[in-house]
Structure 1
Amino acid sequence: MFHPSDFPEPTMVPVNGIELEVFEAGAEHAGRPIVLLHGWPEHAFSWRHQIPALVEAGYHVIVPNQRGYGNSSVPADVGAYDIEHLAGDLVGLLDHYGYDDATFIGHDWGAMVVWWMTLLHPQRVKQIVALSMAYMDRGDQPWVEAMEQMLGSDFYFVDFNRRPGVADAVLDDNPSRFLGNLFRQNVPLAPPEPGNAMVNLATSDTAPGDPIMSDDELDVFVRAFETSGFGGGINWYRNVDRNWHLLADADPIIRQPALMITGTRDMVAGNPRLTEFVPHVTEAALDCGHWIMDEQPDATNHLILTWLTSTNA
């Protein structure tokens, strides 16, 4: 089991008018940058199993806590978390390290940011590895509006938008219970209970499935969210429809090589039209749920490194 003391020490990096807490490894491999982007409610520490393998393979690994997370800046303005700001942070990070482009690997929300950053700044993204979250094509209706019609007002994406601050407060009051109940594997695909599923996890004494990390590892996440709160990360959800508008004029086709890794037990839906929008994508699946890097760390590393070798990255 990974021990938190083995994780790299952070540096505060000024970018795009804020500061990011950045964990770096393999600087001796300058010229082969890989940027790893966590999802929600995660942390740079989510990549603890991938960092050593990528460094050993000869990559300069750069792992930020994105805005709203860890010790990175947590702006008060909800609009400060739209994709122009999130992508701008990453452009600033590349500029800080002197790179024209990089390979980006993202999980969950981190994957969404990579997809959308590639639309806004295609020259800064060399290639993409996305875990759990497939590219979302725009369609004719803003995403949260469409989710509300399909999944109802209780769906957490929708509830975060329709009741600002409500879920944030519940999660802030129960970080250990929420994260302990959320980060689990082998969860059965049961019908959802009424209400915001994330709030339910934060207020329940029990949760199905097996923990995916040790108590020491979980404590890294709990302490981080005790510092940052959950509101900054939830504000990313409150910009989903704004992002739909901001991306209206972008070329929707991703032309970079991409690897899409999904979990066969994950309840997050894929995109059956993925290859229409990402024509150079390789798709792979692992027998796990949503937390791919934790549930299948060795298999995840093997897939990523094999694919990177095949693209001569």
Structure 2
Amino acid sequence: MNRNADFPAPTLVSLGNSHLEVFEAGRENRGNPIVLCHGWPEHAYSWRHQIPALAAAGYHVIVPNQRGYGNSSRPTKVEDYDIAHLTGDLAALLDHFGYEAATFVGHDWGANVVWSMALLNPARVTRIINLALPYQPRTPVPWIEFMESVFGPDNYFVHFNRQPGVADAVLDAHTDCFLRNLFRKNLPPAPPEPGMMMINLATAAAPAGDPVMSDADLAVFIAAFEATGFTASINWYRNMDRNWHILAEVDPIVRQPALMIYGTRDMIPPSETIADFVPNVEVLSLDSGHWIQQEKPNETTRAILDWLAVRQAA
């Protein structure tokens, strides 16, 4: 796998019954940890622009390929990808490095894990920076039932759950096309197409918009998913209702200082209620689509560093 020269070499970190592939920088900055959590269908490599800058600013940067990705553990049971396991991996990662707590940064599904980390392991989280996905208040009924009632059966969250294995096979068979069509920016407005969006992307002949990254960088993502397939990462979606039950009795308020970064061109809208559940949140919007830290790497890195500088000085 040909990575950017500034991207660290991986280490396999044993967490007892599982392991994570971890990319680390700034080891000399012992005592100032920051953990970067990628989304779907991504890779630790999505943080390649932020890692060197954070290390140069004095942070011990810890970037795992999370459970189901890259060379990290890929258990076969669907329930092994629930939010208790995903946040448990992050807590065990802190234990491995000898940290009581860290700053956590998440994008997309990684943001979901970081919000949940703050709920399930609040003492392990000092500050939060999340991109794209705001805090999701618990719905009155389990998540997939709720999403099906609002968005219908072709919504990809619903499809992944109601038709297990169908999308996995299509994405596995068209990995290059799917990722090439997915990682786009400057997308023109377009009406929704019939059918499941991810399958449409995997089989579309002509991509819209502009590529988010170079062919060389995209090749890192393609090689990773050609090696693993998509099922393990999609299993995160197949635990949404299980997560709904796990979080039923958990205090829903995130009390840590938080920065929420939106892309103004993202399909995910800003939350109107985030301050009700994250009272210490600050909100920032960048002129970006969904892949914020890759579309606007310099602006994202500066926003993270500036916010952290103010919070550390406070």
> Is TM (by shorter chain) over 0.5?
yes
> Corresponding residue for 1:258?
258
Map 1:58-69 onto structure 2 (within 5 A).
Answer: 58-69=58-69
What secondary structure sits across from 1:31 in the alignment? coil
TM norm structure 1: 0.98
CA–CA distance in 2 between the matches of 1:296 and 1:16? 37
Shift of 1:139: 2.6
Q: For 2:224 and 2:161, how far apart are their aligned partners in 1?
A: 24
> 8 Å contact 2:6–2:52 — kept in the other structure?
no
Report the Cα distance in structure 2 between the residues aligned to 1:110 and 1:200, rounded to whole angstroms.
24
What is the SS of the residue equivalent to 1:127?
Answer: strand
Amino acid of the structure 1 residue aligned with 2:40: W
TM-fit CA distance, 1:269: 2.7
1:305 aligns with 2:301: no
Aligned positions of 1:166-205 closer than 5 A: 166-205=166-205
In structure 2, stretches of 5+ residues that fail to align are none
What one-letter code is carried by the residue in structure 1 that aligns with 2:135?
Y
- Mapped partners of 2:103, 2:36: distance in 1: 9
Shift of 1:191: 1.6
**Residues 210-234 of structure 1: per-residue CA shift (max 9 Å, x gap):** 0011111000000000111110110
CA distance in 2, matches of 1:141, 1:269: 21
Moved over 3 A (4+): none
TM-score by structure 2 length? 0.98
Deviates more, 1:263-272 or 1:74-83: 263-272
For the residues of structure 2 that align with 1:86 and 1:149, how far apart are their CA atoms? Answer: 27
Q: Which amino acid aligns with 1:63?
A: V
Paired residues of 1:108 and 1:132 also in contact (CA < 8 A): yes
Structural mapping, 1:87-236, within 5 Å: 87-236=87-236
CA RMSD after TM alignment: 1.1
Contact 1:16-1:89 within 8 A present in 2 as well? no
Q: Is the 8 A contact 2:262 2:286 kept in 1?
A: yes
Which deviates more, 255-264 or 269-278? Answer: 269-278
Equivalent residue pairs, number: 312
- Does the CA contact (< 8 Å) of 1:159 and 1:196 recur in 2? yes
SS at match of 1:113: helix
| Counterpart residue type for residue 102 of structure 2 | A
Q: Distance in 1 between matches of 2:312 and 2:24?
A: 23
Distance across 2 between alignment mates of 1:9 and 1:187: 33
Tell me by how many angstroms 1:131 deviates: 0.2
Amino acid across the alignment from 1:306 = D
1-structure distance, mates of 2:132, 2:14: 29
Instruction: State the Cα distance separating 1:6 from its structure 2 match.
Output: 2.8
Alpha-carbon separation, structure 1, partners of 2:272 and 2:63: 30
Residue by residue over 1:37-95, the C-alpha shift from the partner in whole angstroms, topping out at 9 and shown as x without a partner, is 00000000000000011011100000000010001111100000000000100010000
Instruction: Provide the rounded CA distance (Å) in 1 between the counterparts of 2:96 and 2:3.
Output: 29
Confirm or deny: 8 A CA contact 1:34 1:105 kept in the other structure: yes
State the alpha-carbon separation in 1 of the partners of residues 233 and 10 from structure 2.
20
Deviation at 1:16, TM superposition (A): 4.8
User: What code does the residue aligned with 2:308 have?
Assistant: L
What amino acid maps onto 1:244 in structure 2? W
**What do the CA deviations read for 1:140-172 (whole angstroms, capped 9, x no partner)?**
111111111111100001100000010001001
In structure 1, the residue corresponding to 2:34 is in which secondary structure? strand
- Find the aligned partners of 1:226 and 1:63 in 2 and give their Cα distance: 21
User: Which deviates the most, 31-40 or 180-189?
Assistant: 180-189
Q: Does structure 1 conserve the Cα–Cα contact (< 8 Å) formed by 2:3 and 2:220? A: no
Take 2:127 and 2:16, find their aligned partners in 1: how far apart are those partners? 23
Distance in 2 of aligned mates of 1:232 and 1:270: 29
CA contact (8 A) 1:4 1:220 kept: no
Determine the C-alpha separation between the residues in 2 that align with 1:192 and 1:71. 35
